[in-house]
Structure 1
Amino acid sequence: MTNHSEATGSPENGDITGPDAPGRHKDGGQQKREPNAGDTAGLHAPSPAHDSHGGEHQVTLRTPAELADALPYLLGYRPEDSIVLVALHDRDGRGRFGGRARLGIPANADDWPSAAGQLAHGLVTGGERRGARPESMVAFLCQEPQKGESGQQVMERLRPLAQRLRVECGSLDVVVVEALCISEGRYWS
């Protein structure tokens, strides 16, 4: 995992369009994000907002930073000390978010393989039962540093868990297209 940028705005689930929204400068102007080689190809999150004609608005997420910023809005809360898997469905060459599953990060690393397996299996088989088997996944590892630990050290400590999630999803023929560690308001990909 590599640290790409800071992520996530305030810990509160406030108005994303407000002056403290992720991607906004202190003066209220919008921060420009340039696409880069590490971009995640146009993932779409249906918005609960509707236009005047009753259609749904869609939000396109192209970068790992945008994925990290969107996580609290996808779940309805900011996950802490959590493993989160988000299913992706490929419709017309565009990834669409599907089911989501969250599990607390086990304190003992010996329990990580079991937790990763249960989470991956549950999300994939749950999708199959509903007739919507995911084609791919995005994995999030969210944990704040322990005393004397930095966000980067959290990422390094959780790297084996991210790899285990990739292996477990891969064993179910579902690729993890992005694994993000979110800690101290930053993300690592």
Structure 2
Amino acid sequence: MTIRAKARVYKPKQPYVGLIHSGSNSLSQSSEPNFIAKLNIMFSLKDLGSAYYFLGIEISRNSSGLHLCQSKYTLDILRKFNMLDCAPVPTPMVTGRHFSKNEGEPMKDPTLYRQVIGSLQYLTNTRPDIAFAVNKLSQFLSQPTDLHFQGVKRILRYLKGSYQYGIVLKPYKAL
């Protein structure tokens, strides 16, 4: 959504203030009292209550905030790539490990490598602890080697021991 400004310069439209979520637990408590009623006129709405599972992300609420994790998705990845019975490791990557495109034997079929990296990329939404290792290994998607695949398997072994990890979102407190 853009609006035209002077001299053919286009700039983004300012958001409608009534649509900005106020940080409360439900939309019915938003700053606009008739917000839900207005939406219900345009769309058929049904209040499903608080979300607990959305786009593969598990949401649990407690007094300190929200805990977001993808433990089911993590276990699905481990199952899909036959790593459910692997031994867990304490870190996603060996400290000081450097990868290069010329080390190791090139994989004959890099499809499996690409599938694992793609699955892990989505997992980094709630797992910033694996983001560096996944992005480092995703640099070799065009020509992965057996050593790169060993790095991917190490990430999967790390996930085996930490599949329940996630992120905690705490409420903002004004000073």
The structure where strand makes up a greater share of residues is 1
Which bin holds the TM-score, normalised by the shorter protein?
under 0.3
What is the TM-score with the length of structure 2 in the denominator?
0.22
Bigger Rg, which one: 2
What is the TM-score with the length of structure 1 in the denominator?
0.21
